Each structure stands twice: as C-alpha cells, then as structure tokens.
Structure 1
Amino acid sequence: MARAYGFVEYGGPETQQLFDTPVPSPGPGQLLVAVRAAGVNPADWKVRSGRRTGSVTVHFPAVLGREVAGVVEAAGPDTGFRPGDAVFGATAEGYGGYAEYTLVDARAAALVPESAPFEVAATLPVAAGTAFDIVEHLEIVDADTVLVLGAGGGVGSATTQLAHAAGAAVLGVTSAGKRELVESCGGMWIESGDGFDARVAATAERCGAVTAVVDLVGGDVLERAVALTRAPERVVSVADPARAEELGGSGITRRRTREVFEHVAALVERGVLTPRVERTFPLTEAGAALELVESGHAGGKIVVTVP
C-alpha cells in the first residue's frame, strides 16, 4: 500500500484526507512512478468540487493532482522508458499525483531536465505546457504586444517568459503583490482591478497596440480586454473559453505529448524558461497546499513533495 491524499466524495475541503491506496501496476504504454513532487493546480479543487464530472474520470477515494515528477519504478510494454529514469508528466486517466506512487502515460512524459530539481519538473506538464501551447497557437513574434490577464500565476508567469523570449512586449495584469514576479519574467506589470483596461491602454501607447490577449481570469475582465485589441481572433482564454469564442477568440487545445514536454524541458535546460515555485508542502500537508491555490493568492506554482 502507498500513502496518498485525495477526496472521498464531491464537495469542499472537508472531503479531503490522507489514505492508503494499492500500488498500481503499469499496463501497456504506462509507467509506475515513485513520485518525488506533484504540481498543485486550480483544476485539482475544481475536480474535487464536482465541476469536472463530464471530463475527468473519478473513482472514490480519488487521489488529487494531474502532474508529477519522479523515478520510474516499472514500465509497461512500449513506453520508451526504463526503471531508474527520472521523468515528469501527466498522470494516467483515473490516477492522481498527490501520492507515493502513481501511473503516468508514457506518451505524456519526458525525462527531467538535468538542471531541474523534481519540484520544478513537476510544474512543467500543466503550467509550462499550457504556456507553450498558447505561444505556439498565437504564433507570437517580436512585433507583438501580448496582454496576459492573471500574469502572476503558474501559467501566466510561464507565458510571460516565453512571449518575452520571442521578442514580444508583454503586459502582465495582476495584483500589486505579484509585480516583482511579472517584472522578473520580462513583463511590464499593470495593476489589476477597476480601471485596469485604462492602465493597459496607457501603457500600450508607449510600447505598441495590443495584438494578442491571453486570458487566465475570465468574466468581465476578459470582455474588457477584448476591447483593447483590434484582433479578437488572437484572444485565447484558459479561464473562460466559451466566452472567448463568443467574442471572436478561442480556448486553447492542450497537447499533453512527449514531443511538447521535451520542447519544454529543452527550454528549461537552455534557461529560456524558469518555472517559479512559490512554495512546497510535504504530502502530509497537501490540504494546505491546495487551500493556498484555491484562495487565488498563490504567485507562481505550489508543489507537494513526497519524501
């Protein structure tokens, strides 16, 4: 048996607990990974709350988390990996990452960059992978001015870095407490809240009109941002894809593939992308880690570590 942290029914934090779970056996195309670190994401509490019942397979008790880094203990047929490999990737359907052991899809895994500790590698599948897909989708170049709404989180900080590396001017909208993070990623910080759109417009007069919008907030903020660009077709939203489509933009198609993850790992190795881990929690305190992410006040990434 292995220790894991998850939830026993849909609901709030009161449904979460530590429990024992059988160590799974890898099937074809799967890896049994001894988890060293797991990324914590807003999607985790949304799954627990029941918001993702139509898209995420859940069997109670359900282990939380969808991204991990660790060491391959065993490999099923046709994986391309072997025991002892340090890997990061997305957990297999029906399995979670806040655990001592989990199954990972080999097609959604890559070797950990040599320069990255496990707690950094564990943040790459979701935040860095999403940012990579966004920048590729928008085909960002040095002539662009990219507006990032919610630039202080894991996806926002990674998107800011990658767009900046492409030569674009990046306007990062977030709270005052995350100004240093945005600026350290190469962005120009713009305070969120009432009047943010006027502040964006004033900054754009100096650096160039907004040519692309990356939305990680949704709602009225997204609608106000669309009015700032003449190219609504270059608006992508992770937070509110349906509304983005109504406004002329789109959601983002995630490519959880080995090819994408190898590209992301190479960017980390070259120093183009530096994932920002704000804080780590041991597995026994995974509830506190998820609480911090659910509060919306985390800057960068939150990670659960497994001894």
Structure 2
Amino acid sequence: MPTAYLHTAFGGPETEAFADLPRPVPGPGQLLIAVRAAGVNPVDYKRRNGYRRAGGPPTDLPSVFGSEAAGVVEEVGAGVEGFAPGDEVLGSTDTGGYAELTLLPAAGTAHKPAGLSWTDAATLPVAAATAYDALVQLALPAGATLLVNGVGGGVGVAAAQIARDAGLTVIGTASAAKAAFAQSLGAVHVASGEGVAERVRAVAPGGVDGVLDLVGGDSLRELAGLLTDRSRLVSGADKALAAELDGSAIVRARTGAVLDAVAALVVKGALDPHVTRTYPLAEADKALRAVEEGHTQGKLVLTVGP
C-alpha cells in the first residue's frame, strides 16, 4: 500500500501522521502518477488549520498534504487523451502530493520537459503558475512598471522573474533582510512596512502601471494610491480589499497550457524556482515545520521514489 503524509483532523501538528493508504484509482479525466517530487507550500498547513479556498469543496478527512507534484503516469482514467503510462508529468493534485501515488486532473497537467528536473517541476503548479496567471491578468505591455508587494515569497519570486523576462521593470517590496535576494531576481527592492508607498514613489516618481499584491492589509491600501488605473491591481492575499479598491483577486487558469509556459521558462533559464532544500518523504513533517515556522527562503521539495 502506498505511503502518504496526512492530517486526521483540523488543528496543529498533532493531527499529522504517516499512513499506508489504498492504491488510488483514477476516475474520468484523472491520471494516477507515481510521485517523484512534491512541492511544500504554506497553503498545506493552512488547510490543516481549517482554511478553505472560497467556493472550494470541503476537505474530507483524513486528508493527504500537498497541492503540487511531478511524477510518472501509471494509469489514465476514462476520457483522458494526450497522456499514457510512462509519461513524465507535473500538475496540481486531486489527492495530495505528499504520497507515493496520487491523482492529477488531466486538464491541469503538463508533460515534463526533458530539461526540467523533478524537483523544479514539482514547484511550478502553485507559485509559478499563480504568478503567471496574475501577469496575464494584468496584461502590462513591455516597458511598463510592475510593483510586486511581497516579492520575497514563492509567488513573488516567480512573478519578478517572469515579469522581467516579459520586458517589465519590477519593483518589489520585502523586508530589509531580503534586499539582496529581491535584487537577484531583477527587482528594485523597497523595504516593506509603514511608509512603503513613499519609498516606492521615491524610485518611481510617476507611480506604477500595475500592482501584484501578495500581502494585503494596510500595505495594499497604501500602495493602491500609486496606480492611476485601479483595474491593474490584482491580489492573491486580500480579495475583499482588492475589490474595495477597484482591483480584483488573481484568477487562476489551472490549465496544462500554463504549466507548459512556466516549464519552458525554467528550461530556457528565465525562471529559477529557487529550490533551497529537499527532504525525503519520510521527513515530510520536518519540511512542513520549516515552512510553517517561517525559517525558509525559496522553495522546499519532498523527493519520493527512485
């Protein structure tokens, strides 16, 4: 029976456990994959705490951790076209990525390019794909200035690099400790915290053409004033406030085509997922603690299988 790391109730780390589960069976439109790597994200522990995406289905317990994975197709469900056993793929998971076997929706899965490592592939469906969707939504022309509020997190790291590759000037807010990291992404660093809008205005006297917000709250309210067109504000952190400010939430495409695009950016060297550490599946608890306690920079990945 395949091993997985899951939570049996909503709450803290005491609800987590390893378990041997029945082999998943792919339904219509699904792929069963043998996982080779799985991304570790803040949303993983947030869901254990009881977070549910607006409009999303309730979480059935026990629930396997993980939202993204890369691996080898073992079986295909009814109606699936374009995938076959033995294919190397990446995608968001239907049944959790912290596992030896998991199910992916075929519509949101992409073939892994030969030049893309398993560990990099496993990081793309959540952070990088969200960043890509946000930039498509903003639709800024080359030469425009994008402000990424919270450039030091996973989505911000990807957004800065994708935007730079598209010919945008990127300004990124982050703590002073992340200044060098932000600059390594090609962003002009601006220290976060009270008065952040004034500091952005100092480096962009004419304001900015778009805002990708990954922080929300007071900083989002303050930075919105730098825009002349509030429709060029999207938030992945504060949907209600974004709407109040005449912006919008990030709209996720969740398609294989988006994964194809971000995978191609990694292969050509335009996007570095910044995988800073890997853990074996047997140490999934340690990886999740590292993310939950905020002691990481870049992405953590679980390695599974051979």
Within-5 A mapping of 1:190-209: 190-205=190-205, 208-209=206-207
Q: Structure 1, residues 138-194: CA drift from partner, whole Å, max 9, x if none?
A: 012223111111101111011001111121111111123322332222111112223
Closer, same or farther: CA 165–122 of 1 in aligned 2, 3 Å: same
Asked whether the equivalents of residues 157 and 181 of structure 1 are also in contact (C-alpha less than 8 Å), the reply is no
Closer, same or farther: CA 18–61 of 1 in aligned 2, 3 Å: same
Match of 1:300 in 2: 298
Shift of 1:247: 0.8
Match of 1:272 in 2: 270
Question: Unpaired segments of 5 or more residues in structure 2?
Answer: none
Shift of 1:244: 0.4
Match of 2:142 in 1: 142
Query: TM-score normalised to the size of structure 2?
Result: 0.94
Query: TM-score normalised to the size of structure 1?
Result: 0.94
Within 2, Cα distance between the matches of 1:113 and 1:179? 33
Asked whether the equivalents of residues 149 and 174 of structure 1 are also in contact (C-alpha less than 8 Å), the reply is yes
Instruction: Tell me which amino acid in the other structure corresponds to 1:4.
Output: A
Q: Percent identity?
A: 51
Match of 1:239 in 2: 237
Question: Unpaired segments of 5 or more residues in structure 1?
Answer: none
Asked whether the equivalents of residues 170 and 186 of structure 1 are also in contact (C-alpha less than 8 Å), the reply is yes
Match of 1:252 in 2: 250
Asked whether the equivalents of residues 113 and 268 of structure 1 are also in contact (C-alpha less than 8 Å), the reply is no
Within-5 A mapping of 1:29-68: 29-52=29-52, 55-68=56-69
Partner-residue secondary structure (3-state), 1:147: strand
Instruction: Tell me which amino acid in the other structure corresponds to 2:215.
Output: V
More deviation, 9-18/280-289: 280-289
Shift of 1:22: 1.1
Match of 2:91 in 1: 89
Partner-residue secondary structure (3-state), 2:204: helix
Within 2, Cα distance between the matches of 1:20 and 1:274? 34
Asked whether the equivalents of residues 234 and 242 of structure 2 are also in contact (C-alpha less than 8 Å), the reply is yes
Within 1, Cα distance between the matches of 2:177 and 2:86? 41
Match of 2:73 in 1: 72
Within 1, Cα distance between the matches of 2:221 and 2:211? 11
Match of 1:7 in 2: 7
Match of 1:168 in 2: 168
Match of 1:284 in 2: 282
Q: Structure 1, residues 17-76: CA drift from partner, whole Å, max 9, x if none?
A: 211111111122211111111111222122111121762442221101111001111122
More deviation, 231-240/284-293: 284-293
Shift of 1:251: 0.1
Shift of 1:295: 3.0
Asked whether the equivalents of residues 47 and 56 of structure 1 are also in contact (C-alpha less than 8 Å), the reply is no
Q: CA RMSD in A?
A: 1.6
Instruction: Tell me which amino acid in the other structure corresponds to 2:254.
Output: R
